[in-house]
Amino acid sequence: MSANYEPNIVAFLCNWCSYAGADLAGTSRAQHPSNVHVIRVMCSGRVNPLYVVNALQQGADGVLVSGCHPGDCHYMEGNYYARRRLGMLKDLLEFAGVDPRRFHMSWVSASEGHKWKEVVEKTVEDAREAGPFEGFKRQQIDW
């Protein structure tokens, strides 16, 4: 692993809680790593688990999905479905040999700017420890 490896993290944030929470972390000038590329979705329940697989295939070293706390979902139940599906995905990825440090899920509410900072630090640290994920990347083959 080269000394200047910076993990590439893709994060799916729900519009109402996590995205707002991340925004709050920004406006509060909380210092946190900038490796995370945010994709805003309306609800964590909208995240098709295949997005995670696709992100890893396209070169992400780590993926994060973050939503509202259980009971607080803007659409009532989206995060419950996400919890089930992404829990299953995490088990499957781990079984298939993808380092469990590469996929995380979190609950971050709109007022938890400090929690967002911690989640990002943990995700980036884990992906840094796990190293660059070359194995799954799409390849261009001859012959």
138 makes contact with another protein (CB under 8 A) = yes
14 makes contact with another protein (CB under 8 A) = no
Options 30, 83, 114, 125; binder of another protein; rule CB under 8 A = 83
Instruction: Identify the three-state secondary structure at position 22.
Output: helix
Tally the C-alpha atoms within 13 A of residue 88's C-alpha that lie toward its C-beta.
8
111 makes contact with another protein (CB under 8 A) = no
How many C-beta atoms lie closer than 10 Å to residue 126's C-beta? 20
H/E run at residue 74? none
Q: Which is nearer to another protein, 40 or 69 (CB)?
A: 69
DSSP of 105-137, one letter per residue? EEE--TT-HHHHHHHHHHHHHHHHHH----TTS
Options 5, 92, 111, 129; binder of another protein; rule CB under 8 A = 92
137 makes contact with another protein (CB under 8 A) = yes
Q: Which is nearer to another protein, 24 or 68 (CB)?
A: 68
Options 17, 89, 110, 124; binder of another protein; rule CB under 8 A = 89
104 makes contact with another protein (CB under 8 A) = yes
Residues 6+ apart with CB under 8 A from 31: 117
> Which letter does DSSP use for residue 101 in this model?
G
Q: Which residue has the tokens 């946190």?
A: 32
Q: Which is nearer to another protein, 1 or 95 (CB)?
A: 95
Give contact residues for another protein (rule: CB under 8 A).
Answer: 49-50, 53-54, 57-58, 70-71, 77, 80-81, 83-85, 87-100, 104-107, 119, 122, 135-143
